[in-house]
Amino acid sequence: MKPKVVDAKSVKPQSRKAPATRIIEALDGDYMTTRQVADYFEVNIETIRRLSKAKNADGSDRIRGPSKATKSGAMIIWLYTPSDVDEIRDYFEDRSIGRSRKKRG
């Protein structure tokens, strides 16, 4: 097969997306990645990562999420469902109420 040679000005370079980006864009459903959750709550991504690993005093998980994941080879993308996001929202709301009371009194 002989390659076709064209004028360089007629060729538009295509940007190549990272594998993780392609997987995330192809997801069906209302899933959010850790980064998307962090952006949604306007916090650092490490805050969401720490929160997902945090335990209560009795050893139970502080939050249940992320409750889903997708895997491609060795790459794992953790996914949060709408109920996971609601639980994180409740956590942040409870903490903000506690902080505002401490500041006032």
54: CB partners within 8 A, 6+ apart: 61, 62, 63
Q: In what order do the strands lie in the sheet with 75-80?
A: 32-33, 75-80, 68-72
With a cut of 80, say whether residue 75 has pLDDT above it.
Answer: yes
- Write the class of the CATH domain 25-104: mainly alpha
Cα–Cα distance, 9 to 91 (Å, whole number): 55
pTM: 0.73
Going by pLDDT thresholds of 50, 70 and 90, the confidence category of residue 98 is low
Q: What is the pLDDT of residues 83-97, one digit of tens each?
A: 999 999 999 998 875
pLDDT tens, residue by residue, 25-71: 999 889 999 999 999 999 999 999 999 999 999 999 999 889 999 99
3-state DSSP assignment of residue 73: coil
pLDDT of residue 78: 95
